[in-house]
């Protein structure tokens, strides 16, 4: 039979594992330094704190538990501070954050000059000239 303390330790370990995996997936899947740092600092801190809390709860009250509690406090202070220092240094270096406009597959201004409705004076084509591919369009969508 599982005691209440053991159930709490298991729940804290499961939470720590969950947030650790979320942080790892965020580091892999998110698009830029700022969002990756956010994922790592928030999720990884919470995952580590939950795991250390489970270890502190599993141990009997004593010096080891006190050390784990001090480590938890240290992690709550240093992880967000380090993430802030990294992102501030990136901003000072001129690294631009990812924006919603970047979600279109990385098209830049040169790629959008030929888009329907682009200013013909800037090299874009006039939508009244028709589609160069011969496909019918309705509101900018291909059929």
Identify the DSSP state of 59. Answer: S
Res 88: pLDDT: 92
Q: How confident is the model at residue 82 (pLDDT cuts 50, 70, 90)?
A: very high
Looking at per-residue confidence, does 116 or 95 come out higher? 95
Q: Which of 11-20, 32-41, 58-67, 91-100 has the highest mean pLDDT?
A: 11-20
Q: How confident is the model at residue 22 (pLDDT cuts 50, 70, 90)?
A: very high
Give the list of residues 6+ apart from residue 4 with CB closer than 8 angstroms, or none: none
Burial class (CB in 10 A: 0-12, 13-18, 19+), 36: buried
User: CA separation (Å) from 17 to 22, 39, 55, 107?
Assistant: 9, 15, 13, 37
- Mean pLDDT estimate for the chain: 79
* Average pLDDT, integer, range 128-132: 57
Res 33: pLDDT: 86
């Amino acid at each position: 039979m599982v005691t209440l303390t053991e159930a709490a330790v298991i729940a804290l370990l499961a939470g720590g594992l969950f947030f650790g995996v979320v942080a790892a997936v965020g580091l892999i899947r998110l698009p830029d330094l700022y969002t990756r740092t956010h994922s790592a600092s928030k999720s990884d801190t919470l995952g580590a704190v939950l795991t250390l809390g489970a270890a502190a709860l599993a141990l009997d009250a004593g010096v080891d538990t006190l050390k784990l509690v001090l480590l938890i406090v240290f992690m709550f202070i240093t992880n967000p501070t380090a993430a802030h220092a990294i992102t501030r240094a990136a901003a000072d270096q001129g690294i631009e954050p990812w924006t919603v406009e970047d979600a279109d597959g990385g098209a830049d201004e040169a790629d959008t000059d030929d888009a329907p409705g682009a200013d013909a004076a800037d090299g874009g084509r006039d939508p009244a000239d028709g589609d160069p591919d011969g496909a019918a369009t309705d509101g900018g969508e291909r059929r």
